[in-house]
Amino acid sequence: MEIILDKLNDIELRYRELEGQLSDPKIVSKQGLYQKYAKEHADLRELVEAIREYNKVRGQIEEYEVLAEGDDDLKAIVKEEMPQLKQKKSDLEEKLNVLLLPKDPNDDKNVFLEIRAGTGGDEAGLFAGDLFRMYAKYAEAQGWKVEVVSSSPAGGMGGFKEIIAQIDGKGAYSRLKYESGVHRVQRVPVTEAQGRIHTSAVTVAIMPEAEDVEINIDPNELRVDVYRSTGHGGQSVNTTDSAVRITHLPTGLVVTCQDEKSQLKNKNKAMKVLRARLLDAEVQRQDAEQAQVRKSQVGSGDRSERIRTYNFPQGRITDHRINLTRYDLDNFINGNIGAMIDALAAHYQAESLK
């Protein structure tokens, strides 16, 4: 793979400039500017380390090529060590090409996880609960914080018609963004007396948390309704109008929240979800437009796309986007999904490199 050396040199030059700026008292005294430069410096560190290693290996190869023109003893050394150096150079080129890919601006953001039961009745609701617990365990293993924003239970066995949770943690979106789509489950429901396998579906949406500056919402375009909570909620249930329903009139998007006892807290949570949905809609629109121009948007998060099947009788998980099948379903459903996410990330990096 060809590496544009001028671009690499420009990046390293910018990194050194940032090092100087971060030690400049004038910059240090301006907190906002200092944080901006510190983030840029941190974002470039891995890339610059790879650039320096790459330049070091290139230099060694050039030295060896000169030595190869010398006496026979040096030629023998060069012949022995040159293949390893060239392989290292090739590996670094591949790494640099990945690191130079345009970064998704949402990758470092927190996310909203929305899981909705689809076809399959009570069994779909039970599987929605299984998926929520799977993601919660994965998030916990990453050191991320999970907070349920809104939930609509289904039955009394831990299922959900819908559940929305906020997941806070560095890089949460970069890891979970591949999970958007339709998840299909094949298993014998606990309510099935005759042991027949049922197929149900659940929809997962992963949305980056939107900053206020990214999504400007006109208060005049909102209808806010308050009503009395139902279901879980303790003593406040059916005694105060704490539940909130917000309708975004231009798009028809509706968000409800009733998990908090405070009407204000419910409203604030609902507004966060609304911002995330509006940002997600804009991202989906942009992806759709880009997909018309280039074909690298395969599996980019289309909510209607069936992305994965969980077959319990066979203990099998199949991701249909990359044709990857694993036979560790029990382990997977308990939150050990990192290997699958790694495979998906590698696949889409390869697609982008094309």
Does residue 291 lie within any of the structural domains? no
List phi, psi (to 5°) of 160. -140, 140
Q: How confident is the model at residue 214 (pLDDT cuts 50, 70, 90)?
A: low
**Which of 194, 214, 144 lies closest to 173, judged by CA?**
144
Q: List 308's β-bridge partners, or say none.
A: 183, 319
335: pLDDT strictly greater than 90: yes
Does residue 202 lie within any of the structural domains? yes
Buried b (16+ CB within 10 A) or exposed e, 110-142: bbbbbbbbbebebbbbbbbbbbbebbbbbbeeb
Taking the C-alpha atoms of residue 134 and residue 129, their distance in angstroms, rounded to an integer, is 9
Write down the mean pLDDT value for the chain: 84
What is the predicted pLDDT for the residue at 2?
52
Q: How confident is the model at residue 97 (pLDDT cuts 50, 70, 90)?
A: confident
Burial of 89 (0-12, 13-18, 19+ CB in 10 A): middle
Domain of residue 267, CATH code: 3.30.160.20
Based on the structure, what is the number of domains in the chain? 3
Does residue 51 lie within any of the structural domains? yes
The verdict on 187 and 316 lying in the same domain is yes
The verdict on 51 and 70 lying in the same domain is yes
State which residues form the domain around 225. Answer: 219-282
The verdict on 227 and 205 lying in the same domain is no
**Residues 231-235, mean pLDDT to the nearest whole number:** 47
What is the predicted pLDDT for the residue at 233?
45
Q: How confident is the model at residue 291 (pLDDT cuts 50, 70, 90)?
A: low
Does residue 290 lie within any of the structural domains? no
